Amino acid sequence: MQYLIEKINKIESHIKESSASSEEITLELIGIIKDMASEIDTLKKSNEELENYINSIDEDLGTMEALFLEEVEDTDYEEICDDDFMEINCDSCKETIYVDKEIYNNRKEFKCPNCGNVIEFAHEI
Ligand SMILES: [Zn+2]
């Protein structure tokens, strides 16, 4: 676009110095407008290409995201839960309580957060 600025500067000095007829200046201006129109056209085309490219990346990301979420839901998530927590049923209120495995392994009993009943773990420390 630098050449357009140079052309405009040239016309500007022609006008200031009155070194060109108004007809010449008008023709030069028309030339610049035509150049600008073709520049805009080129930009528009490359913009469209870029837009298509971004859309295809976006689609790929969506597919990857869906695959990833599917995988996490299927396996990893459940495994993480199984690994870290013990599932215990309260004798008193019959509520299912999830106790951290570390707590379970280091204590003999656990107070039910639901009813306050003390649940004894079926293991020795
Ligand atoms: Zn309970």
Q: Which residue has the higher pLDDT, 16 or 69?
A: 16
Between the CA of 98 and the centroid of ligand 1 the distance, in Å, is 12
Between the CA of 111 and the centroid of ligand 1 the distance, in Å, is 8
Decide: helix, strand or coil at residue 96: strand
Distance CA 68, CA 57 (A): 16
Number of Cα atoms under 13 Å in the Cβ half of residue 64 = 6
Mean residue pLDDT across the chain? 86
CB 2 within 8 A of CB 27: no
- Reading the block at residue 36, the tokens are 């600008």
Inform me whether the pLDDT recorded for 3 exceeds 80.
Answer: yes
Between the CA of 121 and the centroid of ligand 1 the distance, in Å, is 14
Supply the pTM of this predicted model: 0.43
Q: What's the rounded mean pLDDT across residues 81-102?
A: 84
Between the CA of 124 and the centroid of ligand 1 the distance, in Å, is 22
Residues 11-54: tens digit of each pLDDT: 899 888 888 888 988 999 999 999 999 999 999 999 999 999 99
- Reading the block at residue 74, the tokens are 């299927």
Q: What's the rounded mean pLDDT across residues 97-120?
A: 89
CB 96 within 8 A of CB 88: yes
Distance CA 38, CA 49 (A): 17
Between the CA of 83 and the centroid of ligand 1 the distance, in Å, is 23
Between the CA of 59 and the centroid of ligand 1 the distance, in Å, is 49
Per-residue b or e along 19-47, where b marks 16 or more CB atoms closer than 10 Å to that residue's CB: ebeeeebeebeeebeeeeeeeeeeeeeee
Between the CA of 96 and the centroid of ligand 1 the distance, in Å, is 8
Q: What local confidence, expressed as pLDDT, does residue 50 receive?
A: 96
> What is the four-CA torsion angle of 4, 7, 8, 13, rounded to 10 degrees?
160
Inform me whether the pLDDT recorded for 81 exceeds 70.
Answer: no
